[in-house]
Each structure stands twice: as C-alpha cells, then as structure tokens.
Structure 1
C-alpha cells in the first residue's frame, strides 16, 4: 500500500503516519505550505512588474482590488502571466514540491459568471505573514546591495556599479581575482617566483 498526503496540517500528518506504520504502509508526506524561504525564492524569481504586483497584494494584507492594481501597473496581463508561470517553474527547479498552490489567486465577480474580468486578487490569510517576512528580507538584501553599489537588474541579474580598489586588499591576505575568474595575473607571477 502506498499513500501520498499533500497539504495536510502537521497534527493530521503525524496521526496518519502513526496509523500507516501500524499497517506497514509506505507513506510519503509532502509539505506544500509556503515557508519564508520558499516565499523569498518565489518573489526573487519574479520580474519587476510581477514583483510589484505581489508586493501590493502582500502590503494590502492579502487582498487588493483589480482596479487599484491597474492604477499602479496599467495592464495586468504581463504580471499575471509571470505569476502564473512562477509556481510551475519552481516545481521544475525543485524549489518547492508539486502540488504547491499559487500564493496569489484571482477573484471574479460571482454575480456575473459569464464575464470573467478579475475584480480582485488575494492571498490566503495563513500565507500573508510568511510573504510579509519574505518581502522584508528581500527588501533588506536589496538595500544592502544598493549600499555597496550593486544594483539589482531583474530576475537573476545583477549589475555591479562599484569596483573595489585593488590597493586596499594588498597585504590583507585576500586573493584578488580578475573579472573573468582566476587570480590576478600579478598574483600568479608572485606565486611562481616563490620557492
């Protein structure tokens, strides 16, 4: 017998594991809940417009009207496509397990089911504090990078606008490298001359 449990709370999963052990079953419990690490990875993987979209949902305690988003972002098609692609990409990359729900979902007008224009976007109440913490961590790291002159350039891209002074590291024991990798040519020559 093989049992797979996805999305169960911890107490239920523990009881189920104990019951399955009594019957010598093979049991796999997959935790699909959003954690701070997963949430930060999710936010980092988004392009700028989609990250702004997510930030607005998070900052509004998990619920924001589509009209308010349109005022801030214009058309929502680009950011919503990026949000929709982020979860499957995370599964492919192994960042979170299959079955992990999208953190931001669309709300449609129930009174008008034939016309499906979004009226709002929401995040589950239990996910809001997790994503608030992830957003705060992301913003802290971005501020620290900017303080060093490193400017985020988009998804997995960074631009360095500051170059360290090689003279400051001389005698510090630091192994300086050139921009293409490896050690600095002068350091290689010094190493060859040493007995």
Structure 2
C-alpha cells in the first residue's frame, strides 16, 4: 500500500496530531527521498549559471568532474558554486517542490576544508541529472 499526503499550511493542532500518528508508525513509513526527473529539472533551472555547469559537467562525465576541468578563463575560482546547489535544494523543500528529506545531489570532493578537487553526483542519479541538464528549458 502506498499513501501520499500533502498538507498545505496545517493548523498547529492538526500538524501535531498528524506527526504523532506518523511517529507511532515510523517503522512502517518510507520517506520520499528520491530525485525524479521532474525534481531534477526544477533544481537545475533554479541554479545560477556556474552551479548549473557543475551539475551538467558531472552528469555528462558519468558522475564526476574535476575542479581543474571546471576552471577556465579569467574566473578560475569555484568558491561558492556548489553552495548555490545546497541553497536551491533547501529553497525547493521550503517551497514544496520536493520533500525536505532530499539531499543535495552534488557532493564536493576534496581533502577537507579548502579547495575541492572535484564534484560527484552519485551513480544512481547521473541519468536523472543528465536528463535535466540536457533538456531544453521550460517554464515552471
């Protein structure tokens, strides 16, 4: 059995009761944490140009793009570009485009704090984001 519930602006009492009911059945609930093609398209179109480039290059290269491959011309800094992806994921959850359980599809790769060496889209998401990055734009 699959039940999908969407509640917009619930009253405090209703929300409290619904969350309590869900908590009582937590072992039987599977949260929606799947990036679909539609969700990936929405995210891609919500990104600034440089963040879109990270997604497109990583998806087109099978899931990984090195930072060196992204650096070009005068602007060789990648500072803040992947943070824009995280902000767009958070904004999409707040706006109801997808559940808050979705994680950022792009993960910075590197030795820790400082410069990244590349960006990774998990293998199971490559096709979904490749579709989004290569689809002609559409209005939402």
TM-based fold match above 0.5: yes
Q: TM-score range by the shorter chain?
A: 0.7 to 0.9
Q: Say what the alpha-carbon RMSD is for the aligned residues.
A: 2.3
Q: Is the 8 A contact 2:54 2:65 kept in 1?
A: no
**Alpha-carbon distance, 1:2 to partner:** 1.9
Structure 1 segment 95-114 matched on structure 2, within 5 A: 95-109=97-111
- Give the Cα–Cα distance (whole angstroms) in 2 for the partners of residues 74 and 3 of structure 1: 50
Deviant stretches of 4+, over 4 Å:
none
Which residue is equivalent to 2:92? 90
The runs of 5 or more residues in structure 2 that have no matched partner are 1-22
Asked if residue 76 in structure 1 is aligned to residue 73 in structure 2, the reply is no
TM-score, normalising length: structure 1:
0.53
Structure (1 or 2) with the larger CA radius of gyration: 1
Q: Is the 8 A contact 2:45 2:137 kept in 1?
A: no
Secondary structure of 2:30's aligned partner: strand
Q: Is the 8 A contact 2:46 2:88 kept in 1?
A: yes
Which residue is equivalent to 1:51? 52
Higher relative contact order (CA 8 A, sep 6+): 2
**Alpha-carbon distance, 1:134 to partner:** 1.8
What per-residue deviation string (whole Å, max 9, x for no partner) do you get for residues 72-109 of structure 1? 65211132221121111111011111121110001113
- Give the Cα–Cα distance (whole angstroms) in 2 for the partners of residues 74 and 59 of structure 1: 21
How many equivalent residue pairs?
117
**Alpha-carbon distance, 1:59 to partner:** 1.2
TM-score, normalising length: structure 2:
0.72
The runs of 5 or more residues in structure 1 that have no matched partner are 5-19, 21-26, 143-151, 157-195
Structure 1 segment 151-162 matched on structure 2, within 5 A: none
Which residue is equivalent to 1:132? 130
**Alpha-carbon distance, 1:118 to partner:** 0.9
Which residue is equivalent to 1:2? 24
